[in-house]
Amino acid sequence: MVVNLLGFDLDGLTAFCQGLGEKRFRAVQLCRWIHQKGESDFEQMSDLAKSLRTKLAGQACVRALPLVTEQVSSDGTIKWLFDVGDGNAVETVFIPEADRGTLCVSSQAGCAVGCRFCSTGHQGFSRNLGTAEIVAQLWFAEHRLRRHLKLPLGERAVDNVVMMGMGEPLQNYAALIPALRTMLDDHAYGLSRRRVTVSTSGVVPMIDRLREDCPVALAVSLHAPNNVLRDELVPMNRKYPLADLMAACARYLDAAPRDFITFEYCMLDGVNDSPEQASELVRLVRGQGPESSVVVPCKLNLIPFNPFPASGLQRSPEHRVQAFARVLLDAGIVTTVRKTRGGDIDAACGQLAGEVLDRTDAATRMTRAPIRIQPLPAETPR
Ligand code: SAH
Ligand code: SF4
């Protein structure tokens, strides 16, 4: 069986090389070729012994996901749709800014959590992505962008990764951890822990495990200030209610690379966007409400809802978002409102893509300077 080496973190690569009778430093060399140089052809890995290159060619490969579409927004946002087999596709979004680039990565085809406002949730769950399929999104984006932007050697295109694409990353924990380690490893992408963010609907036991195993920045999708409403919007809440979630967030901060948790809050017209609910939210994070007595240092990220027909929900009007933000700001909570990005490339997609785009477009709502990228060339990208 041919193994895709994108599925290994450095420890995994070391074990694989040892299985071939090779020393650890060979794994380091391989790791650099693959992730730092974007090389997929073992023959080009000039400092590996010929005998090792031959062994690798027989047993391993470095394989990207088949690309279905690439779309470039007038504001520079880029969306890739990848085929993951059996009629499933996942999406990856690159959001350029003046001083950095953020990549929004998917962890599952579909999602089992079933949040009311999320089209991925409405699609249902197809399957977990493997580590190779998660890492392939970054590998492809990084090296494609480097080539197209003609970046000098050593300069990277992606300096932030957010696990905010399709899926609940903490329900695909076994595949997630080696993927995160590869993102962080200095021999691979070398991203700092604060530049890799896991976003979760609140899988409490896995928040604790992440804190032990690989404490990167944490974003928690809150969306409601009390259990009654959150039970409706984010079904995960029925299993892990706010008291448990807030306590897990507070524990996470002991190990977190930042001294706050980012709470995401999708603004739904007439559902969760009143000034009273904003005040309730302030009490919740201060540990002064009926739901939880734990103080959670946090930032609030308000996301205008991206509507889709089956949801039966509407986006909050701008003035309501502003009024909500004002209550939080007046209470001293750092609050940002995401701006829409890449809106012009949503409509052109097919139905599956449309559903995927509806969902991940939430992660493209930030203000950034446009960059130019050439159109997709005819040859298959490496
Ligand atoms: N499953 C994880 C990560 C992926 S979702 C989670 O739920 O956190 C990433 C973010 O997209 C979530 O915070 C969610 O609020 C947001 N989102 C989902 N559907 C949306 C929509 N239709 N409009 C705006 N944001 C949405
Ligand atoms: Fe799943 Fe996140 Fe969508 Fe909820 S918001 S259904 S957890 S992808």
Q: pLDDT at residue 368 above 80?
A: no
The whole-number pLDDT of residue 167 equals: 96
Among 104-108, 136-140, 154-158, the least confident range? 154-158
Q: Is 381 in the pocket of ligand 2 (CB under 6 A)?
A: no
Q: What is the DSSP string of 39-53?
A: ---GGG-TTS-HHHH
Residues counted in the chain = 382
Contacts for 330 with CB less than 8 Å, ≥ 6 apart: none
* CA-to-CA separations, 140 to 82, 271, 362, in angstroms, rounded: 11, 39, 22
Q: How far is the CA of 52 from the centre of ligand 1 (A)?
A: 44
Q: How far is the CA of 290 from the centre of ligand 1 (A)?
A: 26
Query: Which ligand is located closest to the Cα atom of residue 116?
Result: 2
User: What is the reported pTM?
Assistant: 0.91
Q: Is 6 in the pocket of ligand 2 (CB under 6 A)?
A: no
Torsion of the alpha carbons at 266, 269, 272 and 278, rounded to the nearest 10? 90
Residue with CA closest to ligand 1 atom 11: 362
344 — pLDDT class (breaks 50, 70, 90): low
Q: What is the pLDDT of residues 19-46, one digit of tens each?
A: 999 999 999 999 999 999 999 999 999 9
Q: Is 120 in the pocket of ligand 2 (CB under 6 A)?
A: yes
Q: pLDDT at residue 341 above 90?
A: no
Residue with CA closest to ligand 2 atom 6: 121
Q: Is 91 a catalytic residue?
A: yes
The whole-number pLDDT of residue 374 equals: 39
Q: How far is the CA of 121 from the centre of ligand 2 (A)?
A: 5
Q: How far is the CA of 116 from the centre of ligand 2 (A)?
A: 9
Reading the block at residue 89, the tokens are 């596709």
Q: How far is the CA of 126 from the centre of ligand 1 (A)?
A: 18
The whole-number pLDDT of residue 345 equals: 61
Rounded Cα gap, residues 118 and 115, in angstroms: 6
Q: What are the contacts of 156-159 at 24+ separation with CB within 8 A?
A: 156/189, 157/94, 157/101, 158/94, 158/101, 158/102, 158/103, 158/189, 159/100, 159/101, 159/102, 159/191, 159/195
The whole-number pLDDT of residue 343 equals: 63
Q: Is 235 in the pocket of ligand 2 (CB under 6 A)?
A: no
Residue with CA closest to ligand 1 atom 24: 305
Query: Which ligand is located closest to the Cα atom of residue 359?
Result: 1
The whole-number pLDDT of residue 168 equals: 97
Residue with CA closest to ligand 1 atom 25: 362
Among 172-186, 302-316, 357-371, the least confident range? 357-371
Q: What is the pLDDT of residues 306-329, one digit of tens each?
A: 888 888 999 999 999 999 999 999
Q: Which of 91, 133, 264, 280 is catalytic?
A: 91
Residue with CA closest to ligand 1 atom 4: 164
The whole-number pLDDT of residue 362 equals: 35
The whole-number pLDDT of residue 351 equals: 26
Q: What is the pLDDT of residues 196-214, one digit of tens each?
A: 999 999 999 999 999 999 9
Which ligand 2 atom lies nearest to the CA of residue 119? 3
Query: Which ligand is located closest to the Cα atom of residue 219?
Result: 1
Q: Is 225 in the pocket of ligand 2 (CB under 6 A)?
A: no
Q: Is 121 in the pocket of ligand 2 (CB under 6 A)?
A: yes
365 — pLDDT class (breaks 50, 70, 90): very low
Residue with CA closest to ligand 2 atom 4: 115
Percent of the chain with pLDDT over 70: 89
Task: Report the DSSP pairing between strands 160-163 and 101-104.
Answer: parallel
Rounded Cα gap, residues 176 and 131, in angstroms: 6
Chain-wide mean pLDDT for the chain? 89
Q: How far is the CA of 305 from the centre of ligand 1 (A)?
A: 9
The whole-number pLDDT of residue 358 equals: 38
Q: Which residues line ligand 1 at a C-beta cut-off of 6 Å?
A: 117-118, 164, 168, 199-201, 221, 264, 266, 303, 305-306, 358-359, 362
103 — pLDDT class (breaks 50, 70, 90): very high
Q: Is 349 a catalytic residue?
A: yes
The whole-number pLDDT of residue 348 equals: 25
Q: How far is the CA of 46 from the centre of ligand 2 (A)?
A: 44
Residue with CA closest to ligand 1 atom 14: 221
